[in-house]
Amino acid sequence: MTQNISLKSEITLINHLNDILKDEQSALVNNDIDAVENLLDQKAKLIQNLGLSAQLRYQQLISYGFEGNEVGMVAWLKKQVAECAEWSVLQYALSVSKELNRVNTMLVSKFLSRNQQSLALLQTGGNQAHTNIYGPNGHAVSQRLIGGSIFG
């Protein structure tokens, strides 16, 4: 009995996710919140499809007598040398996704921080001469935060 598990569809999904994460990063840098919101829906659907694809792969592993998890996948790969290259591509694409997501998380964090500083400035009247707002480097930030870029 041939024990075939194709990883091509998962690789395609992850590569598409990476494209969306790159677009999201660009939109965050450009303060294009509308684009970010549109990408969130696409990203959520892709992540859901990736989850379903992984579940299907795990079910296939179980039907072949392996554990339905990553441990089972590694055990299966030891017997299916031909699929090791696809698995490596999949693992690399996943590592790219994780790094893109990490950077995007930092950008969102920076954006939220700037917005909170802007709101604090507005709540204090915005015209107080001694309002101290500090940036991530610990230095005072100018009060031109409203409408500014994520990168100040």
Cβ neighbours around 98 below 10 Å, total: 11
pTM of the complete model? 0.74
Domains of the chain plus CATH, in order, are: 8-116 (1.20.58.300)
List own/partner pairs for 126-133 with CB under 8 A and 24 or more apart.
Answer: none
Measure the CA–CA gap between 69 and 55, rounded to whole angstroms: 9
Q: What is the pLDDT of residues 12-46, one digit of tens each?
A: 999 999 999 999 999 999 989 899 999 999 999 99
Q: What is the pLDDT of residues 109-141, one digit of tens each?
A: 988 888 788 888 788 765 554 455 666 676 666
List own/partner pairs for 143-152 with CB under 8 A and 24 or more apart.
Answer: 145/114, 145/117, 145/118, 145/121, 146/118, 146/121, 146/122, 148/114, 149/31, 150/28, 150/29, 150/31, 150/107, 150/110, 150/111, 150/114, 151/29, 151/110, 152/114
Residue 140 pairs in a beta bridge with 134
